[in-house]
Amino acid sequence: MTRQHAHTAPRLRAWLGLAVVLGPVLLVSMDGSILFLAMPRISQVLSPTADQALWILDVYGFAVGSLLVAFGSIGDRYGRLRLLMIGATVFGLGSAGAAFAPTPELLIACRALMGVAGATLLPSALAVLSELFPDSRRRAQAIGIFAAAFATGFAIGPVVGGVLLGQFWWGSVFLVNLPVIIGFLVFAPVLLREVRPGGTGRVDPLSVLASAGGLLLTIYAIKHLAADGFSALPITTLIIGIAVLAYFVVRQRHLDNPLIDFSLFHDRVFTIAVITGLLPLAAWSAAAFLSATYLQSVLNLSVLHAALLALPGAAALTISCIVTPAVVERVGKRTALLVCHFSIAGGLLLLLPTTVTGGIGWYIASTVIAGLGYGISFAVVADTAVGAVPAERAGSAGAIAETSNEIGNALGIAVLGSLAALFFRLQGPDLAPTLDETLQLPSLLPSVIQDAKSAFVTGLHVVVVAASLLHAALGTVALRWLPKPAPQEQTTEVQEQPAQERREEQAVAGRG
């Protein structure tokens, strides 16, 4: 009886703790995509400019991506639970402010605040799993579930947004966060223990400023270069951002406790995995945003109808994310990464047959096929990052993985979205910068509407071809770089894991 209680109690606490952590994780990822279907409604009410609309969409991802590294290290040093509690509180306040924002400027500010809070939540939440699940096999399962929640948040964000907009006003897409945040603040102190790993040293303030400032300046410059072309301000900003990031990299090599251990990138599997965290998110966010506009503004579907059409792809993504850890255990990360990139490349190309008059079937097929690859990317990146480092660096490693995700999400909308906007301006009627703004103009002739929609579809096709080629290229690099695992090594690894698990369970029972 004593042995069974000692074995069951820690495991029950671990899984309950995981369930509590998944709430904010789901919200942080969901808020990266929940506005894809809501933007037409927000544009009608708040009337943002084209530039403000892009900032409403991507300032959240910019804030999260630029601060993840800093907050991952801060959580490692000063306590992950404390940072989770602070971040959840600020995220709730930012959500409430965004829901009732009367102007585009205030909405952008609240979205930025939510992004800062999100940067505190993701790396610490991922690091907590290392404490809850010390066994490598169970940790991989937990991280697979974590990654599935993160992926599901991105996937169902547009669906949740569409359902809420079908019943309530646009601010409801932010208020939906509050019940989850309140639940987390109530149960987290009960189920999660504070973790302050020893020997991690003090936080280097200059590294924090350099990582956050360099990333923000660089992403800002890339966004404006893609959207507006070459000019003095974005070029100067890009040069400064790259210089700050270079200083950050050099400084890390001379610190005893750096924010990022760049030696991790000597491992080719780790490097490919981190790039895999960035590129699929860029492709997914751009394709999801442009497809949402295509379904609503080109095919004239309702918000709810468009949301329901996204469900098959969301299901494929979630299932893929959950089963990937077990599949990787058998086939290896090399094969999983190859399947990831080539399935995304093929899935994106299925959007090419879409036209101004139809393409719903092609859209569903595209999201399902590409969704398999997106799910693999989430699971492989997270598990590789956390499993490659000791427990005291789990927050920093998790931050690298999540940073690649968030920067990819932001760059997808900023760069690939701007590429679509460029082709719309070049081939469209040249009456407004975007399709939605053009369609809102009064007294448009049917021929002008047709030209505008055709130009948008052309931009969508250009984006999916570009993203597909990038994925095919990265898949080819992975094929050449990553060695095939020896069959004997794979078998040994699979056989050793249950033995290690039994030894750790016996040790727990012995302490009871």
Predicted confidence (pLDDT) per residue in 72-82, tens digit: 667 766 677 78
Q: Which residues lie below 8 Å from residue 2, measured CB to CB, with a gap of 6+?
A: 509, 512
Mean pLDDT score, 331-360: 89
Give the model's confidence band at 256: pLDDT under 50 very low, under 70 low, under 90 confident, else very high: confident
Tens digit of pLDDT for each residue in 231-248? Answer: 888 889 989 999 998 998
Residue 195 pLDDT > 90: no
Q: What is the pLDDT of residue 145?
A: 78
Rounded CA-CA distance 469/471 in Å is 5
Q: What is the pLDDT of residue 354?
A: 93
Mean pLDDT score, 382-401: 62
Give the model's confidence band at 197: pLDDT under 50 very low, under 70 low, under 90 confident, else very high: low
Q: What is the pLDDT of residue 228?
A: 63
Tens digit of pLDDT for each residue in 415-464? Answer: 787 788 888 888 888 787 778 778 888 888 888 889 989 999 999 999 99
Lowest mean pLDDT among 14-23, 28-37, 470-479: 28-37
Residue 104 pLDDT > 80: yes
Q: What is the pLDDT of residue 153?
A: 75
Ranges 182-186, 325-329, 405-409, 488-492, most confident: 182-186
Mean pLDDT score, 102-129: 82
Residue 399 pLDDT > 70: no
Q: What is the pLDDT of residue 5?
A: 42
Closest CA to 290 of 377, 376, 379, 366: 366
First to last CA, the chain: 10
Range 184-197 burial, b when 16+ CB lie within 10 A, else e: beeebeebbeebeb
Ranges 31-35, 121-125, 366-370, most confident: 366-370
Residue 503 pLDDT > 60: no
Rounded CA-CA distance 227/384 in Å is 34
Tell me if 2 sits within 8 A of 504, measured CB to CB: no
Closest CA to 478 of 266, 264, 262, 276: 276
Assigned CATH topology for domain 21-204+255-431+446-494: Growth Hormone; Chain: A; (1.20.1250)
Residue 398 pLDDT > 90: no
188, amino acid identity? A
Question: Alpha-carbon Rg of the chain, whole angstroms?
Answer: 23
Q: What is the pLDDT of residue 492?
A: 42
Residue 376 pLDDT > 80: yes
Rounded to the nearest 10°, the torsion over CA 12, 15, 16, 18 is 160
Q: What is the pLDDT of residue 347?
A: 93
Mean pLDDT score, 187-212: 71
Residue 491 pLDDT > 50: no
Mean pLDDT score, 495-504: 44
Q: What is the pLDDT of residue 499?
A: 42
Residue 124 pLDDT > 80: no
Q: What is the pLDDT of residue 463?
A: 92
Q: What is the pLDDT of residue 460?
A: 92
Q: What is the pLDDT of residue 430?
A: 78
Q: What is the pLDDT of residue 364?
A: 94
CA dihedral sign of residues 105, 108, 110, 116: negative
| pTM for this prediction | 0.69
Q: What is the pLDDT of residue 247?
A: 92
Mean pLDDT score, 482-502: 49
Residue 502 pLDDT > 50: no
Mean pLDDT score, 209-235: 76
